[in-house]
Structure 1
Amino acid sequence: MSLLYALLIGAIAGWLAGKLMKDGGFGVLFNIVLGIIGGIVGSWAFKTLGVSLSGGVIGDIITGAIGAIIILFIAGLLKK
């Protein structure tokens, strides 16, 4: 069940990040992967900054989307 949860949250977070970032959409599969990795990056960034979001699905989606946006931003810098 936790794998299905991670895939669903990752898909939503990756899709959201792709919509928020210019040229951020890379397709459904990559957006799922990006959202899952974004959740890890977002959790690390929030922990480092001392920021805490309330738990639950919405907090997980926000964390994953912010982490995915960070990844997309860095990828955009490296692409130039």
Structure 2
Amino acid sequence: MSILAWIVLGLIAGFIASMLVSRSGGGLVLDLVLGIVGAVVGGFLFNQFGSAGVTGFNLYSLLVATIGAVVVLLIYHMIAGRRAL
């Protein structure tokens, strides 16, 4: 998959995950970074459970990346929430 496809997939996955977790977007850069990290994490998690990870620019890969981004966002909010207190 090309870098541009990873960026687009990460941006979409990060935005969807941000809406699922916090009901508001965290900003373009944060959504992009967490979405790309989430795609990697989602691919790793799916491979660990015996399923295919990110396979290209398709709906299945978007689902994998979004699930990974949700996991990353939950961890991010746990860490950022503790700093704010």
Q: 2-side partners of 1:62 and 1:74: how far apart?
A: 19
Shift of 1:73: 1.1
For structure 1, the residue ranges without an aligned partner over 5 or more in a row are none
Moved over 6 A (4+): none
Q: Which runs of 5+ in 2 are unaligned?
A: none
Distance 2:70 2:44 in 1: 14
Residue 59 of structure 1 is matched in structure 2 by: 60
Shift of 1:25: 2.5
After superposing the two structures, state which structure 1 stretch, 69-78 or 5-14, moved more: 69-78
Equivalences, count: 80
The structure number with the bigger radius of gyration is 2
TM-score (norm 1): 0.84
Q: Percent identity?
A: 32
In 1, the alpha carbon distance for the partners of 2:54 and 2:28 equals 27
**What is the CA RMSD across the aligned residues, in angstroms?**
2.1
AA aligned opposite 2:39: G
